[in-house]
Structure 1
Amino acid sequence: MHIRDLIVERLAVATVKVDQSVSDTLKKINETGYRCIPVVDEADNYKGMIYKVDLLSYLYEEKGDAEQSINHLLRHQDTYLFEDASFLSTLLNIKALPFISIVRDDKLIGIVTHNKIESVFEDAFGTKTGGLNITLASTEARGMIRKLTTALKDENIEGLMTLDNGSALARRVVLTLEDEKSEEEANRIKEKLEKNGFRILQMQQIDPK
């Protein structure tokens, strides 16, 4: 999965120029309400990120010049991804950042935010369509998914995610089945899964978002 579908496009991204003053940049960040925004040059080439906390520290703790350019306060100049980056690469790179910048031919074309990443996990859990959400556990790792899908062959699985990868004791699976289920239907599904060796940890009906 590439992240191009998750990109907040350039026109919707607030930025400042690398030669802007500290005071003008702080004003821009305050207007946006963000704690950090991307920095570009006159050609819209990506130059890094500027944090509000660094501007405030420079002005009030270091007694810096408010008319000085922000160039010396930039962070993450070499931290960015291309639009064909994988979802996993994006997930690993964004962890310590408020967002990750996406670049094409050195130019900023957008960003990926944590909200966009979370939307992928919501989709994987099936929360967009709603249905019966089940968390179950199995002591068998090899062949577990095949066994699970065989047991649920009459159901439409809207979302599925495995947890505890590498665990020698038990693996958990979170899945969502399509459509609202009656109590009788939910109990029948539970019995079927338990007969196939799965332990039900939680069952919950969720409404579509």
Structure 2
Amino acid sequence: MIIQSIMIPKEAVHTVTTKDTIAIALDIMEDHNQRCIPILDPSSTLYRGNIYKYHIYRHLVQGGSLDEPVTTLLKNATKFVKNTDAFFKLFFTLGDLPYISVLNDKHHFLGIIRHTDMYELLSQSWKMTESSYALTISVPDNVTGLDKILKIIYKFTTITGLITLDREEFTLRKRIMVMFPPNFTKQQLQKLTDKLTAKSFDVLEVEDLTHGI
């Protein structure tokens, strides 16, 4: 399962319990340069939520005390995924959080998946680090448009990755981004783009990935 493969296990995660004070949470975050950490129950088994460094400092500015329990500033109590959830549940639940907690069916805390881990997973699946160039191509609305584009591409090379993009507010066009293998040269790329243009397919962007992103 994807969640299990990229999860940082509980033993490697800095946490606090509901019995701890805000001061203890702040010390942990300062010592380990973290924006937030999970809050668990007194037995360090059940997930309760997160506490953020930002909220601690705002709490202090407003006259709050570091001696208060971490539950005073508890956030994200309902923000978690199960270890059996599918990729898209993980993707949309994570959103802009720095990490998402992973629980089992008994609500036991198993670990976290960081935003950076999700980014790395997507980067690997798109083969961005193993590609030479990427083309963004406008796709006609008819059902054969994508098939025709791929037939042209396969006359020149194979592909390492493909992403489909729906219409957006500004372009109002469907698009695909196609990545090519490391041995695909700039000269071959030019011939391919010329061929696509000749067949009335708009090449919207060419990205050189040979030196990284």
Given the two structures, how large is their TM-score scaled by the length of structure 2? 0.85
Query: Which residues in structure 2 correspond to 1:71-150 (within 5 Å)?
Result: 71-104=71-104, 105-140=106-141, 142-150=143-151
Residues 139 and 146 in structure 2, CA contact (< 8 A), matched pair in contact too: no
Residue identity in the other structure for 2:3? I
Residues 141 and 171 in structure 1, CA contact (< 8 A), matched pair in contact too: no
How many residue pairs get matched?
A: 208
Distance 1:114 1:196 in 2: 41
Q: Is it true that 1:200 corresponds to 2:206 in the alignment?
A: no
Residues 182 and 210 in structure 2, CA contact (< 8 A), matched pair in contact too: no
Distance 1:190 1:203 in 2: 9
Worse-matched range after superposition: 23-32 or 114-123: 114-123
Distance 1:19 1:165 in 2: 50
CA RMSD of aligned residues (A): 2.4
Q: CA deviation at 1:97?
A: 1.9
Q: Is it true that 1:28 corresponds to 2:31 in the alignment?
A: no
Seen in structure 2, the aligned counterparts of structure 1 residues 32 and 197 have a Cα distance that, compared at 3 Å, is: same
Residues 129 and 208 in structure 1, CA contact (< 8 A), matched pair in contact too: no
Q: CA deviation at 1:124?
A: 4.4
Identical amino acids, percent of aligned pairs: 20
Partner of 1:159: 161
Q: Match of 1:81, SS? A: strand
Q: CA deviation at 1:141?
A: 5.1
Q: Match of 1:25, SS? A: helix
Consecutive unaligned residues in structure 2, runs of 5 or more: none
Consecutive unaligned residues in structure 1, runs of 5 or more: none
Distance 2:9 2:3 in 1: 12
Partner of 1:13: 13
Seen in structure 2, the aligned counterparts of structure 1 residues 19 and 144 have a Cα distance that, compared at 3 Å, is: farther
Q: CA deviation at 1:91?
A: 2.1
Residues 130 and 208 in structure 1, CA contact (< 8 A), matched pair in contact too: no
Residues 17 and 44 in structure 2, CA contact (< 8 A), matched pair in contact too: no
